[in-house]
């Protein structure tokens, strides 16, 4: 697909979606300093959790405890209380506690800045590691893929993949590099507001003319 088509699609989406806030993990949160560590923790909190709940929990924890050293002072129970009611809050409290200890001991309190090292942290998968690289460390050359970023390029007919991991590899080949930095934020928002998982709003979709609607059985 020629770069000009991607350009048109990205511009149309940016125009349509500018009225909404960017996704919670990557946007500024009141009273929370944006660092690789706060990005990592926000991302862990957001897994299987609604935006509003993630935002509240992230502010409650990270406005007071925004470094591995500060979190290391908390008991697991206090940590769980601070992040309640995010999904799996007890498991996440345990993971966050373990993760901060590893970051302090092995990485001198700094969140690692390679995919390989990030992926060794328990509870960190490719999506989280890629998000930390792009939005935490501000590095280029990474594509975080969540469920929306996986579903939509398949519906559009850009790729035919079965898993987010396959999608990441396919898009790294297909999507020109100048679009990589904007891709995650834009497609997550698009997937939350218009190209929703069940019955997407195709009638008000700004890129309908570019979409093959693969696998779309009901739409609005």
Give least dist CB 142 to ligand SF4, A. Answer: 24
8 vs 35 by CB, closer to ligand SF4? 8
Cα separation, 157 vs 164, in Å, equals: 15
Nearest to 121 by CA among 31, 43, 33, 35: 43
Alpha-helical (H) ranges within 18-50 are 36-46
1 vs 77 by CB, closer to ligand SF4? 1
Omega cis (within 30) before 85? yes
- The contacts of residue 120 (CB under 8 Å, 6+ apart) are none
Give least dist CB 217 to ligand SF4, A. Answer: 11
20 vs 201 by CB, closer to ligand SF4? 201
18 vs 218 by CB, closer to ligand SF4? 218
Give least dist CB 174 to ligand SF4, A. Answer: 16
Give least dist CB 155 to ligand SF4, A. Answer: 4
CB 156 within 8 A of CB 190: no
> Where on the chain is the footprint of ligand SF4 (CB under 6 A)?
152, 155-156, 194-195, 200-202, 205, 207-208, 211, 213, 216, 219
């Amino acid at each position: 697909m020629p770069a000009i088509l991607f350009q048109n699609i990205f511009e149309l989406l940016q125009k349509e979606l500018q009225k909404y806030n960017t996704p919670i993990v990557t946007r500024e949160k009141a009273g929370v300093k944006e660092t690789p560590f706060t990005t990592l923790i926000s991302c862990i909190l957001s897994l299987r959790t609604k935006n509003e709940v993630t935002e509240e929990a992230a502010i409650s924890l990270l406005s007071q405890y925004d470094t591995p050293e500060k979190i290391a002072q908390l008991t697991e129970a206090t940590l769980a209380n601070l992040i309640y009611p995010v999904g799996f809050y007890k498991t996440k409290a345990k993971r966050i506690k373990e993760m901060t200890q590893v970051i302090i001991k092995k990485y001198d309190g700094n969140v690692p800045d390679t995919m390989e090292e990030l992926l060794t942290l328990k509870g960190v998968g490719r999506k989280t590691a890629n998000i930390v690289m792009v939005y935490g460390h501000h590095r280029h050359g990474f594509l975080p893929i969540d469920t929306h970023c996986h579903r939509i390029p398949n519906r559009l007919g850009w790729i035919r993949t079965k898993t987010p991991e396959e999608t990441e590899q396919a898009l790294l080949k297909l999507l020109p590099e100048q679009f990589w930095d904007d891709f995650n934020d834009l497609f997550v928002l698009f997937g939350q507001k218009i190209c929703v998982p069940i019955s997407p709003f195709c009638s008000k979709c700004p890129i309908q003319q570019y979409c093959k609607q693969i696998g779309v059985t009901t739409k609005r």
